[in-house]
């Protein structure tokens, strides 16, 4: 009887192992939904929204490729730095490649922004200018919050604590009234 019991346990274990799926490939995330408030504010058409989403997706694919290469070069720099003696030419070439990648990405981002803005109508570009002008007032608004003339809007990422704006998530020690 003992061999039958061992066989049953082994059979059960093999059956369970056969039912466990292999590694599941992680799904490729789709494009993030377009911000509703921005879409409504700019009065974007579905064609404009799709154009903007596609232009950004193209840039993000390029940036991901460039960043992978930059990470490889960073690893090469670590390896080169660990060598004795240092090879200044090898290090210099790698640092120059990282700077070249950074410049390429900055140029491509500028081109992408220009294409995205070109997809807008003149009235929509006017509304975008209003947003840019509002951003210029943010430092002034922050100063007004600092002297308690204004308060941060709800959900802005800060929480007022005793007249001082403290970033959300930062714990501020509260004095124990029982302690002298």
Q: What would the pLDDT profile of 54-77 be if each residue is shown by its tens digit?
A: 999 999 999 999 999 999 999 999
- 129/97 same-domain check: no
- 99/128 same-domain check: no
Task: Specify if 17 maps to a domain.
Answer: no
Name the band, by pLDDT with cuts 50, 70 and 90, for residue 10: very low
Residue 138 domain boundaries: 121-151
Q: Quick check: 47 pLDDT over 80?
A: yes
- 147/74 same-domain check: no
- 62/140 same-domain check: no
**Mean pLDDT across the stretch 18-35?**
61
Q: Give the residues across from 160 on adjacent strands.
A: 165
- 39/113 same-domain check: yes
Hey, how many other C-beta atoms are within 10 angstroms of the C-beta on 50? 14
- Count of domains for the chain: 2
pTM for this predicted structure? 0.65
Q: Collect all residues with Cβ–Cβ distance below 8 Å to 130 and sequence separation of at least 6.
A: none
Using CA atoms, how far apart are residues 93 and 76, in angstroms rounded to an integer? 11
The position carrying tokens 């990470």 is 71
């Amino acid at each position: 009887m003992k061999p039958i019991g061992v066989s049953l346990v082994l059979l059960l274990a093999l059956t369970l192992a056969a039912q466990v799926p292999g590694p599941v490939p992680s799904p490729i995330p789709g494009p993030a939904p377009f911000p509703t408030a921005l879409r409504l504010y700019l009065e974007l058409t579905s064609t404009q929204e799709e154009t903007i989403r596609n232009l950004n997706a193209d840039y993000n694919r390029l940036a991901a490729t460039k960043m992978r290469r930059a990470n490889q070069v960073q690893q090469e720099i670590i390896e080169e730095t660990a060598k004795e003696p240092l090879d200044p030419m090898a290090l210099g070439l790698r640092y120059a490649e990282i700077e070249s990648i950074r410049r390429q990405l900055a140029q491509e981002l500028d081109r992408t922004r220009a294409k995205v803005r070109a997809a807008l109508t003149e009235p929509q570009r006017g509304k975008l200018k209003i947003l840019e002008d509002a951003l210029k007032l943010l430092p002034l608004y922050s100063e007004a919050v600092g002297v308690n003339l204004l308060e941060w809007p709800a959900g802005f990422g800060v929480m007022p604590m005793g007249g001082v704006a403290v970033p959300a998530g930062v714990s501020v020690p509260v004095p124990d009234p029982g302690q002298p």
